Structure 1
Amino acid sequence: MKLLGRNHIIISVITFSTLFLMNYLGNQEADKLERALLTALAGVVGLSIGLFIYNKGKDDKNPPPNFD
Structure 2
Amino acid sequence: MKLFGRNHIIISAITFVILFLMNFIGNDQADKLQSALMIAGAGVIGLTIGLFILNKGKDDKTPPPDFD
TM range (shorter): over 0.9
Alignment match, 2:37: 37
Q: How far, CA to CA, are the matches of 2:65 and 2:50 in structure 1?
A: 24
Alignment match, 2:61: 61
TM-score by length of 1: 0.97
Partner SS for 1:58? coil
CA RMSD for the aligned pairs? Answer: 0.7
Using the TM superposition, give the Cα deviation of residue 65 of structure 1 relative to its aligned residue in structure 2, in angstroms.
1.4
Runs of 4+ in 1 over 2 A off after TM superposition: none
Which residue type is aligned with residue 47 of structure 2? Answer: L
Q: How far, CA to CA, are the matches of 1:17 and 1:66 in structure 2?
A: 43
Alignment match, 1:20: 20
- What whole-Å deviation, never above 9, does each CA across 1:14-68 have from its counterpart, x for those lacking one? 0000000000000000000000000000000000000000000000000111224
> Identity over aligned residues, as a percent?
74
Q: Which runs of 5+ in 1 are unaligned?
A: none
Using the TM superposition, give the Cα deviation of residue 9 of structure 1 relative to its aligned residue in structure 2, in angstroms.
0.1
Q: Which runs of 5+ in 2 are unaligned?
A: none
